């Protein structure tokens, strides 16, 4: 029986190799317009890719040759794991306590893409372009400060109110941003523009950012989950500026920081996405990244929580521990 997944991989890698040819008209490209005259970025898009925000060890250059990009892709975690699992299938399932940690989906169900990311026809080793090393420039203690800023006040097992929402597969925030990122699956998005708002909806978690076009941020004492964002157009580029993210959202900035995102229609099939993160409380300098979104066909159901009994198990286990303690 033919291995259709490997065939799929070969086809995708071939398409990635010829993709730069499709962008030869980009410098003179005239983007479509909305009925309001704005550059039209609406549609279904994807940023599916093996490339991640930070550059991995061993990848020194930002822009990769086709050969080096293919080498890094084949050596990536999920493609390596997929080959290993295909060559050594698990036929005997563990049971009881031995099954702990073994019942997750295998690599077949991961949809991270088959190649390194393409940005305007270039293979990229990281989305971060500045600093040149492709790494987040945390100041001393900055990484710990960022983690501490969005840790929920947990520790109690009294009820769901004191548990992190990730235990219920909601409010994951990674894909939606800001800044927006790709993951190991659910890498599709829908962008919608009206005369006074832009909507960025991620397949991951079905999270939605509804951003008004405005000159100034809202001064009310509100804490929107994705922060206080406002949008504007600069020529043919949509610019989104975000401050004051909700503390538990897991964002990249403190209440004093700012994230600026830029969306430019590069071609019929590509949106060029740029972002800059500026927060002296956490980082030694502002840092910036680039990514491209490519046309996709549809959003799919996000069913992470289907059949998820982790929260009842967590709370039930705590009740059991309390009963055992009382019995002693």
38 with 293: CB under 8 angstroms? Answer: no
**108/5 Cα distance (integer angstroms):** 9
Instruction: Provide mean pLDDT across the span 152-173.
Output: 72
> Across the chain, what does the average pLDDT equal?
85
125 has a pLDDT exceeding 70: yes
pLDDT at 95 (0 to 100): 74
Among 74-78, 94-98, 133-137, 159-163, which stretch is predicted with the lowest mean pLDDT? 94-98
| CB proximity list for 128: less than 8 A, separation 6 or greater | 53, 54, 55, 134, 135, 136, 287, 288, 289
Helices and strands, counts by H and E, the chain: 5, 13
- CA dist 44 and 296 (Å) reads 5
* pTM, two decimal places: 0.83
Distance between CA 214 and CA 232 in Å, rounded?
7
- β-sheet bridge partners, residue 61: none
CA distances from 250 to 147, 148, 226 (A): 8, 9, 9
């Amino acid at each position: 029986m033919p291995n259709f997944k490997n065939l799929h991989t070969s086809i995708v890698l071939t398409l990635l190799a010829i993709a730069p040819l499709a962008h030869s008209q980009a410098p003179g490209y005239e983007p479509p317009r909305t009925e309001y005259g704005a550059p039209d970025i609406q549609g279904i898009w994807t940023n599916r890719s093996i490339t991640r925000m930070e550059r991995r060890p061993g990848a020194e250059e930002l822009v990769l040759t086709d050969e080096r990009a293919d080498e890094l892709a084949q050596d990536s975690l999920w493609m390596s794991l997929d080959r290993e699992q295909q060559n050594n299938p698990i036929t005997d399932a563990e049971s009881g306590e031995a099954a702990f940690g073994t019942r997750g989906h295998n690599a077949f169900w991961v949809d991270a893409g088959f190649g390194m990311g393409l940005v305007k026809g270039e293979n990229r080793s990281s989305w971060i372009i500045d600093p040149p090393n492709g790494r987040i420039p945390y100041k001393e203690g900055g990484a710990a400060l960022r983690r501490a800023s969005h840790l929920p006040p947990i520790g109690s097992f009294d009820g769901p109110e004191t548990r992190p929402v990730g235990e219920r597969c909601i409010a994951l925030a990674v894909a939606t941003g800001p800044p927006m990122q790709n993951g190991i699956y659910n890498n599709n998005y829908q962008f919608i523009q009206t005369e006074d708002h832009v909507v960025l909806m991620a397949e991951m978690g079905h999270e939605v950012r509804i951003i008004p076009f405005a000159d100034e941020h809202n001064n009310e004492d509100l804490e929107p989950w994705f922060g206080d964002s406002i949008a504007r157009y600069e020529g043919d580029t949509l610019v989104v500026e975000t401050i004051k993210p909700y503390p538990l959202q897991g964002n990249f900035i403190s209440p004093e920081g700012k994230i600026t995102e830029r969306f430019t229609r590069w071609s019929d099939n590509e949106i060029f996405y740029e972002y800059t993160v500026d927060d002296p409380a956490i980082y030694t300098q502002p840092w910036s990244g680039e990514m491209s979104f490519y046309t996709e066909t549809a959003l799919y159901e996000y069913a992470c929580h289907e059949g998820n009994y982790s929260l009842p198990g967590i709370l039930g286990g705590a009740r059991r521990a309390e009963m055992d303690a009382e019995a002693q």
